[in-house]
Amino acid sequence: MKVACPHCHKVYDIAEERLQQQCIPIVFPCPACKGKIELDGHVSAKAPEAAGDQPSTTGLPSGEVLKKSILKNLQELPPMPQVAQKARQLTSDEKSSFTDLAKIIETDQAIAARVLKLSNSPYYGVAGFVTSIQHASVVLGIKTLNELLTLACASSLLGSQLKGYGLDSGDLWKHSLAAAACARSLAKKKNPGLADDAFSAGLIHDCGKLILAPYIEERKTQFDDFMKDGQQSFLAAEKSILGFDHAQIAAAVCEKWQIPKKLILAIQYHHKPSGLQYNELAHIVHTADAIALMSGIGTGVDGMMYQIDKKAMEFLELSTDMISMLMAEATEYIEKTITA
Ligand SMILES: [Fe+2]
Ligand SMILES: [Fe+2]
């Protein structure tokens, strides 16, 4: 029988006679990663396929077994830089000033360098002018400086290549920027008080892909087969083959990053905003994501077959002219931010 290591997912073929001879639980170290593999001595007991999950022709785990193993390994994910958490605490305090925020940013030199670069980008309007974080805080103010800090922290996490999704390095980053810019514009129209949350949620809505990409790559043939007639979306393939999708994993990642709950909910439902009744942020992030995908920037294999939820369009009173305008805005935002 095939037995998959719940830690590194390497699959081993173990003779069934060997397992049936044992009536007591068997625990053995995975030869590849040394993690524990547990079997209860009966062929059907704790093998991945027997946990109520979908049968897998490849022997790779899926469903709850895979999800549990992924969530257990979330600690391997790079943490959200500490400076982001400190800044969040600071900006929730009304008495804080832009110089306090600048001091926090300066404690992380790598992030400070990115913030400075972004401060001089054409979009933020002061190219070649800002010389230090303190200077940026005076010129840009606390709100924009905080936005640049969010961008600087996210760029280090979202810039990598994700082969499972057909994304080259920088593609997810561009898509995330487009979604963030669109989400902010949509929020300004529907509920301006949500603009900052919409920007942040739009920026990290697909962070679950960082986790799922290697698992999808490992199951590439299954994904290709599932989608070969062109009738199925990549999201449907995730649900069918893995048993869950990247939005569910994103929610777990965001919890680890201590992102505020309302952003987590919007991210979790970004492909199904109607799952949350009249949740403005979820509708905004969903629509912004769809518009970003339609604009074709940083779009991977999952950009195909994706549509805006009709109810979200009605909820946001969105016309086709407005969609075109948002697409143009997002493209301009990326050009002017990335060329920093
Ligand atoms: Fe997504
Ligand atoms: Fe997306």
Taking the CA of 235 as reference, the closest ligand is 1
Amino acid at position 125, single letter: G
DSSP 274: G
The per-residue pLDDT for range 146-156, each reduced to its tens digit, is 999 999 999 88
Going from the Cα of 280 to the center of ligand 1, the distance in angstroms, rounded, reads 17
Taking the CA of 290 as reference, the closest ligand is 2
Strands (E), 130-235: none
pLDDT at 122 over 70: yes
pLDDT at 54 over 60: no
Q: Give residue 2's pLDDT band: very low, low, confident or very high (50, 70, 90).
A: low
Taking the CA of 173 as reference, the closest ligand is 2
pLDDT at 210 over 80: yes
Tell me the C-alpha distance between 309 and 40, whole Å.
46
Name the most confidently modeled range: 45-49, 85-89, 223-227: 223-227
pLDDT at 99 over 70: yes
Per domain, the residue ranges of the chain are: 2-76, 79-158, 162-340
Going from the Cα of 91 to the center of ligand 1, the distance in angstroms, rounded, reads 28
Q: What is the mean pLDDT of the chain?
A: 83
For 334, phi then psi, to 5°, come to: -65, -45
pLDDT at 18 over 50: no
Tell me the C-alpha distance between 183 and 291, whole Å.
9
pLDDT over 90 for what percent of the chain? Answer: 47
Going from the Cα of 184 to the center of ligand 1, the distance in angstroms, rounded, reads 17
Going from the Cα of 268 to the center of ligand 2, the distance in angstroms, rounded, reads 12
Going from the Cα of 235 to the center of ligand 2, the distance in angstroms, rounded, reads 11
Largest CA distance in the chain: 75
Taking the CA of 177 as reference, the closest ligand is 2
Going from the Cα of 116 to the center of ligand 2, the distance in angstroms, rounded, reads 27
Going from the Cα of 62 to the center of ligand 2, the distance in angstroms, rounded, reads 23
Q: Give residue 24's pLDDT band: very low, low, confident or very high (50, 70, 90).
A: very low
What are 29's strand-pairing partners?
36
Task: State the average pLDDT over residues 100-118.
Answer: 91
Name the most confidently modeled range: 21-25, 69-73, 203-207: 203-207
Going from the Cα of 58 to the center of ligand 1, the distance in angstroms, rounded, reads 26
DSSP 194: G
Taking the CA of 158 as reference, the closest ligand is 2
pLDDT at 171 over 90: yes
DSSP 26: E
Going from the Cα of 318 to the center of ligand 1, the distance in angstroms, rounded, reads 20
pLDDT at 17 over 60: no
Going from the Cα of 100 to the center of ligand 1, the distance in angstroms, rounded, reads 35
Domain 162-340, CATH class in plain words: mainly alpha
**300-307: long-range contacts (C-beta < 8 A, 24 or more apart)?**
300/162, 300/165, 300/166, 300/167, 300/171, 300/172, 300/175, 301/165, 301/166, 301/234, 302/165, 302/233, 302/234, 302/235, 304/233, 304/234, 305/230, 305/231, 305/232, 305/233, 305/234, 306/233, 306/235
Taking the CA of 267 as reference, the closest ligand is 1
- Ion ligand 2, residues whose Cβ is below 5 A away: 206, 289
Taking the CA of 271 as reference, the closest ligand is 1
Going from the Cα of 306 to the center of ligand 2, the distance in angstroms, rounded, reads 10
What dihedral do alpha carbons 246, 261, 85, 178 form, nearest 10°? Answer: 50
